[in-house]
Amino acid sequence: MPANTESVATHLSDNVKISKFGSFLRKSKLDELPQLINVLIGDMSLVGPRPNLYNQTEVIEERDKRGVYNAVPGITGLAQINEIDMSTPVKLAEKDAEMIANLTVSDYFRYIFATVGGKGQGDRIQK
């Protein structure tokens, strides 16, 4: 992305210009690799609610109502494999809360394998 790109969630930006290489990184999910450092130091989990930006007030309010912030944030989860992103705050918070309440070891690995297998395509970028 250009240096002057707006600092907002990608689904809110109407002038996102992603390079071919950047597009490849997003589609292959290789852009998530740096988050593995956070997993290794214990700040994140592989599976959990995706972190939101500080200025996504609707997402914060909906997640707060449902106790989502009591869980460790993750790289992927039930919402991501169902292609629910930050653009639908209520739906996202409900799915995150559902995942937290019902998460089993088999679900944990199912979400990881589904993500690695290409399920869920990340935030929708407006063109």
Task: Provide the CA 70 distance to its chain's centre, in angstroms.
Answer: 17
- Asked if residues 84 and 95 have their Cβ atoms less than 8 Å apart, the reply is yes
pLDDT confidence bin for 34, thresholds 50/70/90: confident
Task: Provide the CA 82 distance to its chain's centre, in angstroms.
Answer: 11
| Mean pLDDT over each residue of the chain, to the nearest integer | 85
pTM check: above 0.85: no
The domain segmentation of the chain, as residue ranges, is: 33-116
pLDDT confidence bin for 105, thresholds 50/70/90: very high
- Asked if residues 89 and 58 have their Cβ atoms less than 8 Å apart, the reply is yes
- Dig out the tokens for 93 from the structure: 């918070």
**Structure-model confidence comparison of residues 127 and 56, the more confident one:** 56
Cα radius of gyration (the chain): 15
DSSP H or E stretch at residue 64: helix 57-65
